[in-house]
Protein backbone atom coordinates (compact mmCIF):
# COMPACT_ATOMS: atom_id res chain seq x y z
CA UNK A 1 0.00 0.00 0.00
CA UNK A 2 2.64 2.45 1.13
CA UNK A 3 4.89 1.53 -1.78
CA UNK A 4 2.11 2.20 -4.20
CA UNK A 5 1.36 5.64 -2.74
CA UNK A 6 5.00 6.59 -2.88
CA UNK A 7 5.18 5.44 -6.46
CA UNK A 8 2.08 7.45 -7.33
CA UNK A 9 3.46 10.58 -5.69
CA UNK A 10 6.81 10.08 -7.36
CA UNK A 11 5.32 9.66 -10.78
CA UNK A 12 3.12 12.72 -10.22
CA UNK A 13 6.19 14.76 -9.37
CA UNK A 14 7.94 13.41 -12.44
CA UNK A 15 4.98 14.17 -14.62
CA UNK A 16 4.62 17.71 -13.37
CA UNK A 17 8.34 18.25 -13.63
CA UNK A 18 10.52 18.36 -10.53
CA UNK A 19 11.06 21.68 -8.85
CA UNK A 20 9.25 24.85 -9.70
CA UNK A 21 6.10 24.95 -11.76
CA UNK A 22 5.93 27.72 -14.32
CA UNK A 23 2.81 29.70 -13.53
CA UNK A 24 3.13 31.72 -16.70
CA UNK A 25 2.70 28.68 -18.93
CA UNK A 26 -0.71 27.31 -18.12
CA UNK A 27 -2.29 26.14 -21.32
CA UNK A 28 -5.75 24.65 -21.45
CA UNK A 29 -5.90 20.84 -21.19
CA UNK A 30 -8.05 20.82 -24.30
CA UNK A 31 -5.43 22.58 -26.40
CA UNK A 32 -3.32 20.79 -29.03
CA UNK A 33 -5.34 17.60 -28.83
CA UNK A 34 -5.01 15.13 -31.71
CA UNK A 35 -1.74 16.56 -32.86
CA UNK A 36 -2.93 19.88 -34.24
CA UNK A 37 -1.59 23.30 -33.28
CA UNK A 38 -4.02 25.27 -31.18
CA UNK A 39 -4.56 28.98 -30.69
CA UNK A 40 -6.78 29.94 -27.76
CA UNK A 41 -8.71 33.17 -28.15
CA UNK A 42 -10.67 34.92 -25.43
CA UNK A 43 -14.16 36.04 -26.34
CA UNK A 44 -15.82 38.81 -24.41
CA UNK A 45 -19.52 38.69 -23.80
CA UNK A 46 -20.59 41.20 -26.46
CA UNK A 47 -21.28 40.21 -30.03
CA UNK A 48 -18.72 42.56 -31.57
CA UNK A 49 -16.01 40.65 -29.77
CA UNK A 50 -17.55 37.41 -30.99
CA UNK A 51 -17.40 38.71 -34.54
CA UNK A 52 -13.66 39.46 -34.31
CA UNK A 53 -12.98 36.04 -32.92
CA UNK A 54 -15.22 34.25 -35.42
CA UNK A 55 -13.41 35.73 -38.42
CA UNK A 56 -9.96 35.26 -36.89
CA UNK A 57 -10.87 31.68 -36.04
CA UNK A 58 -12.19 30.96 -39.50
CA UNK A 59 -9.07 32.24 -41.20
CA UNK A 60 -6.73 30.56 -38.73
CA UNK A 61 -8.47 27.25 -39.31
CA UNK A 62 -9.05 27.41 -43.04
CA UNK A 63 -6.12 29.43 -44.32
CA UNK A 64 -3.39 28.67 -41.79
CA UNK A 65 -4.36 25.19 -40.57
CA UNK A 66 -4.61 25.87 -36.84
CA UNK A 67 -7.18 24.53 -34.42
CA UNK A 68 -8.83 27.34 -32.47
CA UNK A 69 -10.25 27.12 -28.97
CA UNK A 70 -12.37 29.97 -27.72
CA UNK A 71 -13.06 30.77 -24.09
CA UNK A 72 -15.56 33.32 -22.90
CA UNK A 73 -14.06 35.46 -20.17
CA UNK A 74 -14.95 38.85 -18.69
CA UNK A 75 -12.61 41.70 -19.52
CA UNK A 76 -10.52 42.04 -16.40
CA UNK A 77 -10.10 38.30 -15.77
CA UNK A 78 -9.20 37.96 -19.46
CA UNK A 79 -6.10 40.10 -18.88
CA UNK A 80 -5.12 37.80 -16.10
CA UNK A 81 -5.69 34.72 -18.25
CA UNK A 82 -3.66 36.31 -21.05
CA UNK A 83 -0.71 36.98 -18.76
CA UNK A 84 -0.70 33.32 -17.68
CA UNK A 85 -0.90 31.96 -21.19
CA UNK A 86 -4.32 30.42 -20.67
CA UNK A 87 -5.45 32.38 -23.67
CA UNK A 88 -3.18 33.65 -26.43
CA UNK A 89 -4.92 36.85 -27.47
CA UNK A 90 -7.57 39.45 -26.69
CA UNK A 91 -8.81 40.97 -29.93
CA UNK A 92 -10.87 43.86 -28.58
CA UNK A 93 -9.92 45.79 -25.48
CA UNK A 94 -11.74 48.93 -24.38
CA UNK A 95 -8.91 50.40 -22.35
CA UNK A 96 -7.80 49.11 -18.95
CA UNK A 97 -5.00 51.47 -17.84
CA UNK A 98 -4.38 49.65 -14.55
CA UNK A 99 -3.91 46.29 -16.25
CA UNK A 100 -1.78 47.79 -19.04
CA UNK A 101 0.56 49.25 -16.45
CA UNK A 102 0.81 45.98 -14.53
CA UNK A 103 1.09 43.41 -17.28
CA UNK A 104 2.45 45.24 -20.32
CA UNK A 105 4.82 47.75 -18.75
CA UNK A 106 5.85 46.10 -15.44
CA UNK A 107 5.66 42.34 -15.88
CA UNK A 108 5.98 42.29 -19.67
CA UNK A 109 3.88 39.13 -19.86
CA UNK A 110 1.53 40.81 -22.34
CA UNK A 111 2.43 42.55 -25.58
CA UNK A 112 0.45 45.15 -27.50
CA UNK A 113 -1.01 43.76 -30.69
CA UNK A 114 -1.89 47.04 -32.41
CA UNK A 115 -5.24 48.63 -33.13
CA UNK A 116 -8.28 46.65 -34.22
CA UNK A 117 -9.38 49.46 -36.53
CA UNK A 118 -12.66 49.99 -34.72
CA UNK A 119 -13.34 52.95 -32.45
CA UNK A 120 -15.58 52.36 -29.49
CA UNK A 121 -17.81 54.83 -27.74
CA UNK A 122 -20.00 54.54 -24.66
CA UNK A 123 -22.94 56.82 -24.08
CA UNK A 124 -26.53 57.29 -23.00
CA UNK A 125 -29.12 56.49 -25.63
CA UNK A 126 -32.86 56.91 -26.19
CA UNK A 127 -34.77 55.14 -28.96
CA UNK A 128 -34.90 57.18 -32.15
CA UNK A 129 -38.69 56.93 -32.37
CA UNK A 130 -38.87 58.76 -29.08
CA UNK A 131 -36.16 61.28 -29.96
CA UNK A 132 -38.11 62.21 -33.09
CA UNK A 133 -41.23 63.02 -31.07
CA UNK A 134 -39.26 64.93 -28.43
CA UNK A 135 -36.07 66.28 -30.02
CA UNK A 136 -34.99 68.07 -26.85
CA UNK A 137 -34.58 64.79 -24.97
CA UNK A 138 -31.21 64.41 -26.64
CA UNK A 139 -29.64 66.96 -24.30
CA UNK A 140 -28.98 65.89 -20.71
CA UNK A 141 -30.34 69.20 -19.41
CA UNK A 142 -33.84 68.21 -20.49
CA UNK A 143 -33.76 64.63 -19.25
CA UNK A 144 -35.57 65.46 -15.99
CA UNK A 145 -38.60 66.58 -18.01
CA UNK A 146 -39.04 63.02 -19.25
CA UNK A 147 -38.21 61.18 -16.04
CA UNK A 148 -41.87 60.34 -15.51
CA UNK A 149 -42.10 58.61 -18.90
CA UNK A 150 -39.00 56.52 -18.16
CA UNK A 151 -40.32 55.29 -14.85
CA UNK A 152 -40.57 51.53 -14.19
CA UNK A 153 -41.46 49.39 -11.23
CA UNK A 154 -37.76 49.07 -10.45
CA UNK A 155 -36.76 52.72 -10.55
CA UNK A 156 -38.57 53.79 -7.38
CA UNK A 157 -40.49 56.88 -8.52
CA UNK A 158 -37.60 58.26 -10.58
CA UNK A 159 -36.79 57.70 -14.23
CA UNK A 160 -34.91 54.52 -15.10
CA UNK A 161 -31.42 54.64 -16.58
CA UNK A 162 -30.66 51.07 -17.54
CA UNK A 163 -27.08 49.87 -17.20
CA UNK A 164 -25.85 46.53 -18.41
CA UNK A 165 -23.22 44.00 -17.50
CA UNK A 166 -21.17 44.53 -14.35
CA UNK A 167 -18.03 43.94 -16.38
CA UNK A 168 -18.45 47.10 -18.46
CA UNK A 169 -16.80 50.42 -17.76
CA UNK A 170 -19.42 52.77 -16.34
CA UNK A 171 -19.56 56.06 -14.40
CA UNK A 172 -23.34 56.25 -14.54
CA UNK A 173 -24.07 56.31 -10.82
CA UNK A 174 -21.65 59.19 -10.35
CA UNK A 175 -22.96 60.94 -13.46
CA UNK A 176 -26.57 60.82 -12.25
CA UNK A 177 -25.53 62.15 -8.85
CA UNK A 178 -23.15 64.83 -10.11
CA UNK A 179 -25.48 66.10 -12.84
CA UNK A 180 -28.27 66.04 -10.26
CA UNK A 181 -30.70 64.08 -12.44
CA UNK A 182 -34.03 62.65 -11.34
CA UNK A 183 -32.99 59.17 -12.43
CA UNK A 184 -32.17 55.85 -10.84
CA UNK A 185 -29.53 53.55 -12.33
CA UNK A 186 -30.97 50.05 -12.68
CA UNK A 187 -28.41 47.36 -13.46
CA UNK A 188 -29.67 44.76 -15.91
CA UNK A 189 -26.81 42.55 -14.70
CA UNK A 190 -25.87 41.16 -18.11
CA UNK A 191 -25.84 42.35 -21.69
CA UNK A 192 -28.25 39.59 -22.66
CA UNK A 193 -30.81 40.84 -20.16
CA UNK A 194 -30.30 44.43 -21.30
CA UNK A 195 -30.73 43.63 -25.00
CA UNK A 196 -33.81 41.54 -24.32
CA UNK A 197 -35.36 44.37 -22.35
CA UNK A 198 -34.50 46.98 -25.00
CA UNK A 199 -36.16 44.85 -27.68
CA UNK A 200 -39.26 44.39 -25.58
CA UNK A 201 -39.48 48.16 -25.02
CA UNK A 202 -38.96 48.78 -28.73
CA UNK A 203 -41.73 46.37 -29.71
CA UNK A 204 -44.16 48.48 -27.73
CA UNK A 205 -42.57 51.80 -28.79
CA UNK A 206 -42.05 52.69 -25.17
CA UNK A 207 -39.57 55.42 -24.21
CA UNK A 208 -36.44 54.35 -22.34
CA UNK A 209 -32.99 55.61 -21.44
CA UNK A 210 -30.08 53.21 -21.52
CA UNK A 211 -26.32 52.96 -21.22
CA UNK A 212 -25.13 51.62 -24.56
CA UNK A 213 -22.10 51.54 -26.76
CA UNK A 214 -21.05 51.63 -30.40
CA UNK A 215 -20.19 49.74 -32.53
CA UNK A 216 -23.12 47.50 -31.77
CA UNK A 217 -25.36 45.44 -34.02
CA UNK A 218 -28.50 46.27 -32.04
CA UNK A 219 -28.59 49.77 -33.60
CA UNK A 220 -29.68 48.10 -36.84
CA UNK A 221 -32.65 46.52 -35.09
CA UNK A 222 -33.53 49.25 -32.61
CA UNK A 223 -32.30 52.63 -33.89
CA UNK A 224 -31.14 54.71 -30.94
CA UNK A 225 -30.00 58.32 -30.61
CA UNK A 226 -27.30 59.44 -28.24
CA UNK A 227 -28.08 61.87 -25.45
CA UNK A 228 -25.53 64.71 -25.23
CA UNK A 229 -23.68 64.77 -21.94
CA UNK A 230 -21.25 67.53 -20.91
CA UNK A 231 -18.35 67.20 -23.38
CA UNK A 232 -15.46 64.88 -22.66
CA UNK A 233 -12.12 66.49 -21.87
CA UNK A 234 -8.88 64.65 -21.25
CA UNK A 235 -8.76 63.68 -17.59
CA UNK A 236 -12.30 64.73 -16.68
CA UNK A 237 -12.99 61.14 -15.66
CA UNK A 238 -9.86 60.79 -13.55
CA UNK A 239 -11.71 60.73 -10.23
CA UNK A 240 -14.51 58.17 -10.47
CA UNK A 241 -16.56 59.90 -7.78
CA UNK A 242 -16.47 63.35 -9.41
CA UNK A 243 -17.14 62.46 -13.04
CA UNK A 244 -19.56 64.86 -14.71
CA UNK A 245 -18.67 64.45 -18.38
CA UNK A 246 -19.33 62.14 -21.32
CA UNK A 247 -17.37 59.00 -22.11
CA UNK A 248 -14.35 59.21 -24.46
CA UNK A 249 -13.96 57.70 -27.92
CA UNK A 250 -11.63 54.72 -27.57
CA UNK A 251 -9.66 53.15 -30.42
CA UNK A 252 -9.98 49.46 -29.58
CA UNK A 253 -6.76 47.50 -29.22
CA UNK A 254 -5.48 43.96 -29.43
CA UNK A 255 -3.22 42.30 -26.87
CA UNK A 256 -1.18 39.11 -27.16
CA UNK A 257 0.50 36.91 -24.61
CA UNK A 258 4.22 37.82 -24.84
CA UNK A 259 5.40 34.25 -25.37
CA UNK A 260 2.81 33.71 -28.04
CA UNK A 261 3.71 37.01 -29.71
CA UNK A 262 7.35 35.91 -29.91
CA UNK A 263 6.97 32.29 -30.88
CA UNK A 264 3.41 32.02 -32.17
CA UNK A 265 4.59 31.83 -35.76
CA UNK A 266 2.09 32.57 -38.49
CA UNK A 267 -0.82 32.74 -36.08
CA UNK A 268 0.75 35.53 -34.05
CA UNK A 269 1.80 37.45 -37.16
CA UNK A 270 -1.73 37.14 -38.53
CA UNK A 271 -3.39 38.33 -35.32
CA UNK A 272 -1.08 41.36 -35.20
CA UNK A 273 -2.11 42.34 -38.72
CA UNK A 274 -5.83 41.69 -38.20
CA UNK A 275 -7.47 45.10 -38.69
CA UNK A 276 -10.92 45.89 -40.01
CA UNK A 277 -13.62 48.55 -39.88
CA UNK A 278 -16.69 49.17 -37.77
CA UNK A 279 -18.91 48.31 -40.77
CA UNK A 280 -17.15 44.98 -41.27
CA UNK A 281 -17.54 44.08 -37.62
CA UNK A 282 -21.20 45.09 -37.54
CA UNK A 283 -21.93 43.04 -40.63
CA UNK A 284 -20.65 39.88 -38.94
CA UNK A 285 -22.13 40.76 -35.54
CA UNK A 286 -25.58 41.24 -37.03
CA UNK A 287 -25.44 37.90 -38.79
CA UNK A 288 -24.57 36.20 -35.50
CA UNK A 289 -26.91 37.98 -33.16
CA UNK A 290 -29.90 38.70 -35.31
CA UNK A 291 -29.98 36.23 -38.16
CA UNK A 292 -28.79 33.62 -35.66
CA UNK A 293 -26.11 32.24 -37.93
CA UNK A 294 -23.46 30.39 -35.99
CA UNK A 295 -20.33 32.50 -35.61
CA UNK A 296 -18.64 30.12 -38.05
CA UNK A 297 -21.29 30.52 -40.75
CA UNK A 298 -21.25 34.29 -40.32
CA UNK A 299 -17.48 34.40 -40.56
CA UNK A 300 -17.56 32.23 -43.68
CA UNK A 301 -20.04 34.56 -45.35
CA UNK A 302 -17.97 37.62 -44.55
CA UNK A 303 -14.71 35.98 -45.60
CA UNK A 304 -16.19 34.98 -48.94
CA UNK A 305 -17.21 38.56 -49.68
CA UNK A 306 -14.11 40.41 -48.50
CA UNK A 307 -11.11 38.56 -49.80
CA UNK A 308 -9.12 41.71 -50.55
CA UNK A 309 -9.39 42.80 -46.92
CA UNK A 310 -8.15 39.63 -45.28
CA UNK A 311 -5.55 38.70 -47.87
CA UNK A 312 -3.34 41.51 -46.55
CA UNK A 313 -3.50 40.04 -43.01
CA UNK A 314 -1.99 36.80 -44.20
CA UNK A 315 0.93 38.15 -46.18
Residues that bind other proteins (CB under 8 A): 12-13, 15-17, 19-24, 26-30, 33-34, 43, 45-47, 50, 69-78, 80-81, 84, 86-87, 102, 107, 109, 152-154, 156, 162, 165-167, 186-197, 200, 203-204, 288-289, 292, 294
Question: In terms of DSSP bridges, do strands 183-187 and 224-227 run parallel, antiparallel, or are they unpaired?
Answer: unpaired
CB of 86 to other proteins, least distance (A): 5
CB of 135 to other proteins, least distance (A): 27
Q: Which is nearer to other proteins, 173 or 228 (CB)?
A: 173
Please, are residues 73 and 81 in contact by the beta-carbon 8 Å criterion? yes
CB of 269 to other proteins, least distance (A): 25
CB of 154 to other proteins, least distance (A): 4
Using CA atoms, how far apart are residues 117 and 276, in angstroms rounded to an integer? 5
Q: Which is nearer to other proteins, 108 or 132 (CB)?
A: 108
Q: Which is nearer to other proteins, 62 or 233 (CB)?
A: 62
Taking the alpha carbons at both ends of the chain, their separation in whole angstroms is 60
Using CA atoms, how far apart are residues 180 and 223, in angstroms rounded to an integer? 27
CB of 193 to other proteins, least distance (A): 5
| SS3 (DSSP) at 109 | coil
Q: Which is nearer to other proteins, 43 or 214 (CB)?
A: 43
Q: Which is nearer to other proteins, 51 or 313 (CB)?
A: 51
The DSSP result for 230-299, as a single string, is: SPP-TTTTSSTTT--SPPPEEEEEEEEEHHHHHH-HHHHHHHHH----HHHHHHHHHHHHTS---HHHHH
Amino acid sequence: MRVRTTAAVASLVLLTGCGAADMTKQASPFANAQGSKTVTLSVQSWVGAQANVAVAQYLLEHELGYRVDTVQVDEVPAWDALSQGRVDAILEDWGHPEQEQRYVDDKKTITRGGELGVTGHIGWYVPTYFAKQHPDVTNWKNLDKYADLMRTAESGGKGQLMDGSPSYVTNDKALVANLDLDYQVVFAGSEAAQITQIRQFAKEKKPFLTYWYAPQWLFKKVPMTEVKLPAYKEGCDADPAKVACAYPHTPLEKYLNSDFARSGGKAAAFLKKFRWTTEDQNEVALMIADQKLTPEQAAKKWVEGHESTWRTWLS
